[in-house]
Amino acid sequence: MMDGTYGTYRTYRTYGQTDVPPIGPIGPIGPIIVNPIIGGQMNRYLLIPAILVIAATTALADARDEVRNAELSFAKAFADRDQAKFFSLVLDDATFMGAGGTLSGKKAVMERWSRFFAMPKAPFSWAPDRVAVNAAGTIGLTAGPVFDPNGNHVGNFNSTWVKQADGTWRVLFDGPGGAPACIAENAAPASEGDITTPDGVKLHYRKIGEGRNTLVIPLGFILYDDFRQLADAATIITYDPRNRGRSSRVEEVKTLTIRQDVQDLETVRAFFKAEKIIPVGFSYLGSVVMQYAMEHPEHVARVIQLGPVAIRPDTKFPAPLTNENDEPVRRWHELNIAKTDPAKSQHDLCLLQDAALRSLLVGNQELAPRVKGTCDLENEWPANLDRHFRNQFPTWKSVAITPADLAKVTMPVLAIHGTKDRNAPYGAGRQWAMSVPDARLVTIEGAGHAMWIDDPLTVFGSIREFVRGGWPLGAETVTKLER
């Protein structure tokens, strides 16, 4: 079955005559804390076992790092088109297993996989989002997603690694992996419609998936297409904020406030009768979901921030934590001047602006075409957006989030931020992560505001592990603003 069959090895999906394999950072188990103090004295009989337990835990954590790094090296060699490095990580008696057959021995693996190195660019990419190691620290298991060159999740992989006498790790078994969420590109949402708020505004929503956890994601008109891939792991509900996307235009501009966005999020949750949700906030909505967690902690299991704005929007961060003056930024400012041209229609101005916005949102300019355009939506035309933010932006500044407010957010919070973010400084992600009791940060090197386009492997792999209840292995406990 060409449209979904996982053919050979490393579990790749077959599209016509092209085999495209599936493949992805994991949350480590925290240290076991053993208290060797009993009755005010050090119990020497407990001390030795405690030291051994701590040492064993540290060794396992180190082994997980080693296995993860080995898998990342494997994937990097494939991406770099380095056959020698790639095949050096495969054991002589390795077995690569897929739905289309089994490759027994390194020679068979090399014969089959060499075809993928004939292409100038890798036909797929992967990275681990889960890693496990046995108690002896000699066998490791990796698993994660595989993405095609266009950033689409096409499958999943798993590999078994064996530690060698020289301390290195090599692949013994690979596959059979598994299929991604079976969601066709043009598949309709499981449900779609409008939610009427208490003041009569219609919020457009789309829902897909039936997972145990429920992700509620504002800015659905931007995020739905990319984030629906998570429907195999959770129930995904996206919606458009009032006056944005497919939601109704708001005539009463006094309701275009951050506080109202928080209230609308609660309206959406209540509509779906979701007792606990994981709100996901991109850009300024990264602040909205945190404010929601402060007000409704009983309904929040975890929080995800994607490129969040600073706790206070007017915060100035050190130069290394911002990216404000490169060419895409200058081009955007030039277009902001040109967008007042009365000779152009709003739709045409939107299209003109759209090209600059695509460059603004990504770190790697080659990926700019992947940014979704929004000019088919009248609410997103320049004059309408200007009206929206002209009324909303002052309300951002009026929100005073105090340390006491932040202390209320006791559930786990994951911030993901690109170091080349031109819209919300990278320093903002660090600021949130160091200000909330149980927060960590995943840094996406070189990525822009839409960091999932620059690095879908790390972003979606991190989200999957976090939704499963763990911390992504690359997640940092931030203790200071500077890196």
> What does the pLDDT look like over 221-258, one tens digit per residue?
999 999 998 998 899 999 999 999 999 999 999 999 99
The pLDDT value given to residue 50:
41
Residues 201, 170 within the same domain = no
CATH number at residue 131: 3.10.450.50
Within a 10 A sphere around the Cβ of 253, how many other Cβ atoms?
13
Residues 88 and 231 reside in one and the same domain: no
SS3 for 294?
Answer: helix
The pLDDT of residue 98 is 75
Whether residue 12 is predicted with pLDDT greater than 80 in this model: the reply is: no
Query: Are residues 320 and 252 part of one domain?
Result: yes
To which residue do tokens 């209540």 refer? 270
Going by C-alpha positions, the residue among 77, 163, 172 that lies closest to residue 117 is: 77
- The CA-atom distances, in angstroms, between 195 and each of 86, 177, 241, 271 are 52, 39, 11, 7
Q: Give the per-residue pLDDT at 22.
A: 32
Q: What is the pLDDT of residue 397?
A: 84
- What pLDDT does residue 362 have? 95
Q: Is the Cβ–Cβ distance between 419 and 393 less than 8 Å?
A: no
pLDDT of residue 377: 97
Structural domain total, the chain: 2
Side-chain half-sphere of 116: how many Cα atoms within 13 Å?
Answer: 26
Shared-domain flag, residues 307 and 438: yes
Q: How confident is the model at residue 218 (pLDDT cuts 50, 70, 90)?
A: very high
At residue 110, the pLDDT reads 94
Q: Does residue 370 sit within a domain?
A: no
- Is residue 182 scored above 60 in pLDDT? no
Distance from C-alpha of 73 to C-alpha of 410, rounded to nearest angstrom: 36
pLDDT by residue (tens digit) across 367-391?
999 998 999 999 999 999 999 999 9
Residue 17 lies in a domain: yes
**Does 30 score more than 80 pLDDT?**
no
Q: What does the alpha-carbon distance between residue 231 and residue 225 come to, in Å, rounded to a whole number? A: 11
Residues 246 and 119 occupy one common structural domain = no
- The CATH number linked to 462 is 3.40.50.1820
**Quick one: 119 and 42 in the same domain?**
yes
**Strand (E) or helix (H) holding 76:** helix 44-79
Calculate the average pLDDT of the chain.
85
Residue 123 pLDDT > 70: yes
Task: Decide if 228 is inside a domain.
Answer: yes
Task: State residue 183's pLDDT score.
Answer: 55
**CA pair distance 159, 98, nearest whole angstrom:** 12
To the question of pTM greater than 0.85 for the whole model, the response is: no
Would you say 109 and 9 are in contact if contact means Cβ atoms under 8 Å apart?
yes
Q: What is the pLDDT of residues 128-168, one digit of tens each?
A: 988 999 999 999 999 988 988 888 888 889 999 999 999 99
Listed residue (233, 387, 419, 416) closest to 322, CA to CA: 419
Q: Is residue 348 part of a domain?
A: no
**pLDDT score for 325:** 75
Domain that holds residue 147: 13-174
Q: Which two tokens stand for residue 235?
A: 């129930």
43/119 same-domain check: yes
Phi first, then psi: what are they for 207, rounded to 5°?
Answer: -130, 140
Does 228 lie in the same domain as 125?
no
Mean pLDDT of 91-110: 90
Q: Are residues 140 and 235 in the same domain?
A: no
The verdict on residue 476 lying in a domain is: no
What are residue 146's DSSP bridge partners?
126, 155
Could you tell me if residue 356 is inside a domain? no
Interhelix angle 327-338/346-361, nearest 10 degrees: 170
Q: Is residue 5 part of a domain?
A: no
Closest CA to 420 of 308, 303, 321, 327: 321
* Residue in this structure with the two tokens 């933010």, named with its chain if needed: 389
Examine the domain organization and report whether 217 and 147 are in the same domain: no
Q: For residue 44, with 0-12 CB atoms within 10 Å meaning exposed, 13-18 middle and 19 or more buried, which class applies?
A: exposed
d(C-alpha 204, C-alpha 222), whole Å: 13
Q: How many CA atoms, within 13 angstroms, populate the side-chain half-sphere of residue 315?
A: 23
What's the pLDDT score for residue 334?
72
Do residue 38 and residue 150 come from a single domain?
yes
* Closest listed residue to residue 453, CA positions, set 222, 128, 185: 222
- Residue-wise pLDDT for 280-292, tens only, equals 999 999 999 999 9
- Structural domain includes residue 103: yes
The order of strands in the sheet holding 235-239 is: 191-196, 202-208, 235-239, 214-218, 278-282, 303-306, 413-418, 439-444
Residue 481 · residue 430 · CB < 8 Å: yes
The mean per-residue pLDDT over the stretch 179-194 comes to 69
Is 277 found in the same domain as 149?
no
Residue 328: pLDDT band with limits 50, 70, 90: confident
Quote the CA–CA distance of 262 and 265 in Å, as a whole number.
5
